[in-house]
Amino acid sequence: MSDFPLMLSVSGMRGLIGRSLTPPVAARYAAAFGSWLRQSTGEAHPHVVIGRDSRPSGLLVQQAAVAGLVAVGCRVTTLGIVTTPSVAIMTEHRHAHGGMVITASHNPIIWNGIKALRADGVAPPPEQAAQIIQRFHDDQVDYVDVTQLQPIDHDDTTTDVHLQRIFDHLDVEAIRKRKIKVVLDSVCGAGGPATAVMMRELGVELVHLYGEPTGIFPHTPEPTAENLTGLAAAVKEHGADIGMAQDPDADRLALVDETGRYIGEEYTLALSALHVMSRTPGPAAANLSTSRMIDDIAERFGGLVHRTPVGEASVAAMMRQHDAVIGGEGNGGIIWPKVICVRDSLAGAALMLELLATTGKSLSQLVADIPAYSIVKQKLPIEPGMADRAIEQVGKLFADDRIDLQDGIRVDLADSWVHVRPSNTEPILRIIAEAPREDDANALIQKVREALNP
């Protein structure tokens, strides 16, 4: 495997700036996407909305991508530094034929990437993503001559449009009346400015950590417990009701309760499901790596959870198929279809505020009302053929248990499960296990690791 990987998957493209991801690479990928849009939509000049997170390399990659899009005849609207869900919303709002986000999500600062979106704001599903990737590999792009080049314009209404969609489905007055105090860690990412506006409009007393979108991450940007010790301490110091953490492109949300205890990302979806289903019972959708908590909550309200491969596009497709009322992924990615069928930390934060306001309970009390599990997530460097070997070896190890092969291999046992799959966004193999006790989850992972390395 190359020391400088270029990841191409259903999640788009990610690479190392100046190494695997250079301006020519970005331009070619964007041109491949634009050419695919022309073919799939029949439009000679598809309209593409493009935004970026706050990484220092963002403008460089965006300008290269815009050049690639324009070169194949696309009309482009730039949005500036905005969240990934905001780009999705603006793609739909502007009736564009596609969208593009310059982001590497939670990856370190040396990475950046390009995420393509369809007209509905959702990433192309696997079969369409494969077509775009093949065009990129084959350099199959349809350049136009100078008479077909289209103008580039800019739209600065993104925050207003995004927040209005949320407020249209939120009990704003109940939240204002509760006067909630929040500590928010935006990790100097794209979500800081818009989320601060939302909090202000909702009457929240906000202590904002790293709210400026400089892209210089003050800590490792993935919103996990070890990276959010500062947030946990700030919640206690300021006597806040809740702590919230976003990732750099603000499509994920992690939580800290009023005692300064890291609740995590899995509870974001579980609590959102609890709130939405209590008002609007119905089905939900979640990926195979997501906690069983959502299944317990759905059962409480007579609903069913439909499982999908990891990836927003897969979850969104399942939600539309079953008219789900809530969905998402256990990484803190909430999909509230009333706003957009895309993971959205702003929508997740709004649901958490409304849940606190309408129940009158603390976050720790709400968490205590949900059956608890321990989920353990590990990762291994991946080698060629390793994913296929993992499926075969884990399948043999658990041959008598319930196996799902939609995405790698997931094994469901009586009171626990384990999921082994290659990452879509990093050159690693993920092993995730959940059980009632942490020791049992760790033992399950160890059993898998021993099978992978006999």
Catalytic residues: 105
Q: List CB contacts of 62: < 8 A, sequence separation 6 or more.
A: 50, 52, 78, 102
Q: How far apart, in whole angstroms, are the C-alpha atoms of residue 407 and residue 310?
A: 7
**95 in helix, strand or coil?**
coil
Q: Could you please report the per-residue DSSP string of 56-71?
A: TTHHHHHHHHHHHHHH
The count of other CB atoms within 10 Å of the CB of residue 418 is: 24
Q: List CB contacts of 31: < 8 A, sequence separation 6 or more.
A: 68, 69, 71, 72, 141, 143
For residue 264, which of 378, 367, 380 has the smallest C-alpha distance? 367
Chain centre to alpha carbon of residue 217: 18
Q: Could you please report the per-residue DSSP string of 311-342?
A: SHHHHHHHHHHHT-SEEEETTTEEE-TTT-SS
Burial class for 227, CB neighbours closer than 10 Å (0-12, 13-18, 19+) = buried
